[in-house]
Amino acid sequence: MTSQFTKKNEAWSARFSEPVSDLVKRYTASVFFDKRLAQVDIQGSLAHAEMLCFKEIISQADYAEIVRGMTQISAEISSNRFNWQLDLEDVHLNIEKRLTEIVGDAGKRLHTGRSRNDQVATDIRLYIRGAIDDITGLLRQFRLALLDLAEQHADTIMPGFTHMQVAQPITFGHHMLAYVEMFGRDAERMADCRKRVNRLPLGAAALAGTTFPIDRERVAAALQFDAVCTNSLDAVSDRDFAIEFCAAAALIMTHISRMSEELVIWMSPRIGFIDIADRFCTGSSIMPQKKNPDVPELARGKTGRVNGHLIALLTLMKGQPLAYNKDNQEDKEPLFDTVDTVVDTLRIFAEMAKGISVKPEAMRQAALQGYATATDLADYLVKKGLPFRDAHEAVAHAVKTCVSKGCDLSELSLDDLRAFSSLIENDIFAVLTLEGSVAARDHLGGTAPAQVRAAIHRWRTEL
């Protein structure tokens, strides 16, 4: 049996009178990165073949042979015995060639009514769908770990900052819950993106559809797609779903990076709010005293590459006329690296959250500096009838006095305080404590320990 594939110029040999130059071969080949799609490629091919058989486009015997061949190929790939060949350009042609080696003509019938254009679009969607499901699971684990931290520290007081200046007392639990919210929205974005990823391009063939009596819904159901793509040109050419995925991934990394920045600052000996377990840190080759928060630093750095991949895909798409263009082959490396980076980062952060030890005394001391309860004093005056702007001004004078005396607002005597407003009475001292300050912010979304506990409960029920 002579196969087209065994001739000098691979899949399209008869049309060409000379072989592709080695340089071009290497330039156009994608097999060394798109082989990662092998298992989803086989899955897609099996669903396509089953439909071809059901519609009597290929015989039962051919279908059985295709299943047998693909089963063997899948095992060869899983056990690293598959011989990937650059000459065969990409994952699709490598697998198809091997199938034909194993099962002969049945293998050559697999590509009936299909093109690599709808095939690769299907593979990418299956791959991203799997990545979304993995990332969603990791986001859940990470949030559960953050909830544990929040619960242990629902009462632990720290300074809340704006402009990196001490603003008002908050609890560490409340601070952790801010990240739970962010990663919660990230999970929502993944779920939303999944809806648009989970549609089947197969059947679009090269760009216009196929002359065979195919059943696209049958293939969609077999591959657990929610629906089929309803325009063949769009189905093979757009990668907006991949861009959307990368945008959602970039936001995850942005949130990770913000948290990393805080962990690095908090672990600085000059701040000393937390320690991170040794297994997540490294030392210095020259300075024996050093313990560096490498994991958060690297995560902050890796955010740059994920953001970069988003821009790469947007740029890749923007100049393409309909329908498929080879440009799209360039979608894979940014996409794969995005998935690897986000998956590894979330996995390590979910672990590292358990290795964060909080130093409540250092947080408390920091909250006692910087007049964190100044707003509480202003609110107190407002409740006694003073307009807020006047209260703000009176407290500003009080803070100025404290700065020159080098003391906290709570350390002024009642007489000292009354010099700023005669509305101030003995009940002020409860207001000026850190505990009084956080407990008073007792409404949905506030930092009061009771609210923190309620929020933890809500999240646990949801997760």
**Residue 120 touching ligand ARG (CB under 6 A):** yes
Using CB under 6 A, pick the residue from 41, 62, 65, 90 that binds ligand ARG: 90
Active site residues: 163, 284
112 or 401, CB closer to ligand ARG? 112
Binding mask 10-49 for ligand ARG (x = CB under 6 A): --------------------x---x---------------
Angle at which helices 116-152 and 172-197 pack, to 10 degrees? 160
93 or 350, CB closer to ligand ARG? 93
Using CB under 6 A, pick the residue from 80, 326, 385, 413 that binds ligand ARG: 326
User: At a CB cut-off of 8 Å and minimum separation 6, what does 109 contact?
Assistant: 52, 58, 62, 66
| C-alpha 286, offset from chain centre | 36
Binding mask 205-244 for ligand ARG (x = CB under 6 A): ----------------------------------------
30 or 447, CB closer to ligand ARG? 30
29 or 149, CB closer to ligand ARG? 29
**Residue 117 touching ligand ARG (CB under 6 A):** yes
115 or 410, CB closer to ligand ARG? 115
Residue 320: DSSP 8-state: P
Binding mask 50-89 for ligand ARG (x = CB under 6 A): ----------------------------------------
Using CB under 6 A, pick the residue from 48, 116, 216, 309 that binds ligand ARG: 116
User: At a CB cut-off of 8 Å and minimum separation 6, what does 268 contact?
Assistant: none
- Rounded to whole angstroms, the Cα distance separating 46 from 65 reads 11
- Rounded to whole angstroms, the Cα distance separating 426 from 307 reads 55
4 or 136, CB closer to ligand ARG? 4
Query: Cis peptide leading into 323, omega within 30 of 0?
Result: yes
Closest CA to 412 of 402, 421, 422, 420: 402
**Residue 270 touching ligand ARG (CB under 6 A):** no
DSSP of 367-430, one letter per residue? HHTTTTTHHHHHHHHHHTT--HHHHHHHHHHHHHHHHHHT--GGGS-HHHHHTT-TT--TTHHH
3-state secondary structure 171-200: EHHHHHHHHHHHHHHHHHHHHHHHHHHCEE
Residue 404: both structure tokens together: 């020159």
At its nearest, how many Å lie between ligand ARG and the CB of residue 325?
9
At its nearest, how many Å lie between ligand ARG and the CB of residue 120?
4
Instruction: Return residues touching ligand ARG (CB under 6 A).
Output: 30, 34, 90, 116-117, 120, 326, 328-329
